[in-house]
A = this chain, B = another copy of it.
Amino acid sequence: MSAKPVKRNTWQREAVREALNGSDGFISAQNLHSELRLAGSAIGLATVYRALTDLALEGEADSLQAEGESLYRACTPGQHHHHLICRTCGLAVEIEADAVEQWAQTIAAKHGFTQATHVVDVFGLCANCTLISS
C-alpha cells in the first residue's frame, strides 16, 4: 500500500487562499490567476487550478458550474450550505436550507435511489444590480 503524500505549505497555495478570501463573490480559476499576476505574483495557471481543486475538496472553498466553467469562492468550512448568487456581479450569500436537504433525501429514497447528493443554487439580481439595471 502507498502512504498518502505529505502536503507541503507553499506561498502559492497561501496566495490562492488569500485571493479567494479577498473576493466576496464567485470567481473563475483564470480570473483569479489574472488577478494574482496583475498583483505581481509569479504563480502559474496550473498551480491555481490545482490549489482551487484542493481547497474545494478540503471543504475550504465552494465551487459551482456556470456557463461552462467552474467558479470558486471561500466558504465557512465544515457546514453544508448553498448559495444565492447575483447573475451580474457574482455576489454570493450563503444560505442554509435544512428543509431542502431533507426533501432531497426523502425524494431520493422514495424512488429507490441511494447515495443521494444534490445541487441547489439560486440565481438572481442582487438589490444593487437590480437598481442599476432599471
Contact = CB atoms under 8 A, between A and B. Distances in A.
Contacts of A103: 97, 99-100
A125 interface: yes
Contact of A84 (B84, B100, B113): B113
Identical copies of this chain, number: 2
Contact of A118 (B112, B121, B127): B121
A65 interface: yes
Contact of A123 (B97, B99, B117): B117
Contacts of A108: 84, 122, 124
Interface of A: 65, 68, 84, 86-87, 93, 95, 97, 99-100, 103-104, 107-108, 111-127, 130
